[in-house]
Amino acid sequence: MKTTIRKRVLITGGTKGIGYAIALLLAQSGYDLALTWASDEDAALAAAGTLSPLADIKLIRADISDSGSIDTIHSALEGTRLDGIIFNAGLTCRDSLEEIKPADWERIFFANVHFPVFLLQRLMKSISEGGSIVFTGSAMGIYPHAVSLSYGVSKSAVHALVKNLVKTLSPRKIRVNAIAPGFVDTDWQKTKPAEIRSNIESKIALGRFCLPEEVAEVYKLSLENQYLNGEIIVVDGGYSYK
């Protein structure tokens, strides 16, 4: 009898929001998963409980603002082949140029740019030929933003990183892309005041926030489509067209 080897994908911040929506879609599609989380153990256990009947789930506690978490993930995945990595977890800081402190600027850059770079460096030998890496950029890395300066600039760096990594990863037959979501209705957005939310909706051609499930479909496409490489795929419902 022929046995099919199940593929495994690592998703950082895979227990809530966009990361969880991707995890659910991939588990339903036959992938095994490694999911990282940082502080909400109840949510992590609940996510694993829902996904376990569908897939083998490894849960790894790893905070992207802590360099030690790179070792933690590397050790937890020792001997595990990975067919894909989805760098999803990210941090923001809403301090303006006048307010932001060097330590906060560095924390945002560490979490959004340095952490995925050096985690990828450690995991390179574990990624199968034909594997796929998906980063998470942002529409805020494309459109100028007065507040969240560190966030917008760090996400622009993620977009540039993807373009540069094509040169490094192509000889190893690994594809790399980024998804740049606009405004996705996760806790990140749900906690904003109603007035700010309706201001955002007024600038989106579709007039509403993106559902996590809608953007998850694009991550899956990016993971699987064999000709997609070096792209920054914007999923913003037509932001700034209104």
Ligand X SMILES: NC(=O)c1ccc[n+]([C@@H]2O[C@H](COP(=O)([O-])OP(=O)(O)OC[C@H]3O[C@@H](n4cnc5c(N)ncnc54)[C@H](OP(=O)(O)O)[C@@H]3O)[C@@H](O)[C@H]2O)c1
The contact pattern for ligand X, residues 213-242, with x = CB under 6 A and - = no contact, is ------------------------------
Q: For residue 182, what are its two tokens? A: 């606009």
- According to CB under 6 A, which one of 7, 8, 16, 175 is a site residue for ligand X? 16
Per CB under 6 A, the list member of 50, 65, 72, 229 interacting with ligand X is 65
| DSSP string of 199-210, one letter each residue | HHHHHBTTSSPB
Q: Which of 13, 84, 116, 131 binds ligand X (CB under 6 A)?
A: 13
Q: Which is nearer to ligand X, 214 or 224 (CB)?
A: 214
Structure tokens at 137: 């950029």
Residue whose entry in the numeric block shows the structure tokens 């998703």: 11
The correct pick among 19, 131, 152, 237 for binding ligand X (CB under 6 A) is 19
Distances (CA, A) of 128 to 2, 63, 183, 229, 234: 21, 25, 32, 16, 27
C-alpha dihedral, 79 to 38 to 147 to 206, nearest 10°: 80
Of 26-34, 78-86, 161-169, 181-189, the segment contacting ligand X by CB under 6 A is 181-189
By CB under 6 A, name the one of 22, 161, 184, 232 that touches ligand X: 184
Q: Does position 4 bind ligand X by CB under 6 A?
A: no
Nearer to ligand X, 176 or 184 (CB): 184
Contact predicate 84/132, CB 8 Å: yes
Q: Which residue lies nearer to ligand X by CB, 129 or 195?
A: 195
Q: Least separation, in Å, of the C-beta of 112 and ligand X? A: 7
Site for ligand X in 31-60 (CB under 6 A): 36-40, 43-44
CB 158 within 8 A of CB 90: no
Is 89 a binder of ligand X (CB under 6 A)?
A: yes
Q: Give the chain's count of helices (H) and strands (E).
A: 9, 7
Which residues does 23 contact at the CB level (< 8 Å), separation at least 6? 11, 14, 15, 33, 35, 47, 51
For residue 16, which amino acid is it?
K
Give the shortest CB-3-to-ligand X separation in angstroms: 32
Under the criterion CB under 6 A, does residue 206 sit at the interface with ligand X?
Answer: no
CA distance 68 to 65: 9
Binding site for ligand X (CB under 6 A): 13-19, 36-40, 43-44, 63-65, 88-91, 136, 138, 181, 183-184, 186-189
